[in-house]
A = this chain, B = another copy of it.
Amino acid sequence: MRSHLKHLLFVFFLFSSSCSQEKASNAIEEVHDPLPSWNEGATKSAIMAFVEDVTNAQSEHYVEVADRIATFDNDGNLWSEQPLYFQMIFALDRVKQLAPEHPEWKDEQPYKAVLEDDMKSLMESGEHGILKLVMATHAGMTTEEFEAIVKDWLAISRHPRFDRPYNDLIYQPMLELLDYLRENDFKTFIVSGGGVAFMRAWVEEAYGIPKDQVVGSSGKTEFVMENGQPIIRKLPELDFIDDKDGKPLGINKFIGRRPIFASGNSDGDLQMLQWTAAGEGPRFMLYVHHTDSVREWAYDRDSHIGRLDKGLDEAMDKGWTVIDMAKDWKVIYPFELK
């Protein structure tokens, strides 16, 4: 009887232990691929090792939740930016849409160039010309009106290469990375040279990043009473350029805390990564390198859009992690999953 009992217990033990092992390994599989669109390799391993380390209360690198700040550039880092920053395409489309109300634009640069699809003259109009376009299309309305204009544009416009809405061209692997960081109590922010009002119109839905966690370039605004109702009107005057030095300054101004994780894809992100790297304790600096001419685009040191030159040198020099899109990402866009 006793030996029978022992035997039963032994069988039960075997069964229960194999059962719990099976459960555990299922759990490991389910829990342990937070980045399913990332190929196995040094990049994915480095990201996961960092997150596991700073969230492990037993580790000497443990970081308190309040300090788990992660900042992401947007253009070329969370969504594509070719053949032209999508916000620039929005501005060009908007000029064409508004042209009937501005007959004078037919003869005035840079509007004339836009209306005639004359990219050469447009480029020749330089920074001053671009700024004029931005002001003509991003100011003069209330903040709510502008948000509606951006949403309408996203709903009806199609990317020339993919024939899809521009906000379909967000990076599936980066969506997974954002989720993974948030599951580990990171607070995720966008820190982009793009316009903050343009981004706030759609990033919440696209990336799960709330509007107040978006830092970007901005124009001045005014608060006025109109027919007894207060409105905020966008003015045709620059307020803040969130690029290069502007990125760490924007982080300091809007977030007030140095990130421990920062991700960018161009030289415009270098100062943000330097600022992140210079803090105490564990840090993670991540560059997206556009190496996939087939599924996305391949460009770096000589590109007019998203040039990555000094940043690439510094990343290699300092041992920062560089994503090789072609090699590290199983898919680029969410629609490839379907």
Listed in ascending order, the chain A residues whose CB lies under 8 Å from chain B are 66, 69, 143, 187, 189, 196-197, 200, 204, 210-214, 218, 221-223, 229-230, 232, 239, 245, 248-249, 252-257, 271, 274-275, 278
Contacts and interface: CB of A to CB of B under 8 A. Distances in A.
B223 A257 contact: no
Contact of A212 (B196, B229, B245, B255): B255
A285 to B, nearest CB: 13
Contacts of A211: 255-257
A69 B210 CA distance: 11
Contacts of A239: 253
7 contacts: A187-B210, A197-B256, A211-B256, A221-B253, A223-B248, A223-B275, A254-B254
A42 B187 CA distance: 38
A66 B143 CA distance: 18
B213 A212 contact: yes
A66 B230 contact: no
Nearest to A220: B249
The 6 closest A-B pairs by CB, nearest first: A211-B256, A223-B245, A212-B255, A200-B256, A230-B274, A223-B248
Contacts of A278: 229-230
Contact of A252 (B210, B232, B271): B232
Given A204-B66, A230-B275, A214 B256 contact: yes
Contacts of A204: 66
A223 B271 contact: yes
Given A204-B66, A229-B278, A245-B223, A253 B218 contact: yes
Given A271-B223, A271-B230, A210 B66 contact: yes
A257 to B, nearest CB: 5
B232 A248 contact: yes
Contacts of A230: 248, 271, 274-275, 278
B143 A252 contact: yes
B275 A249 contact: no
A222 B221 CA distance: 23
Contacts of A274: 230
A1 B25 CA distance: 53
Contacts of A213: 212
A257 B214 CA distance: 11
Nearest to A65: B210
A172 B3 CA distance: 67
Nearest to A211: B256
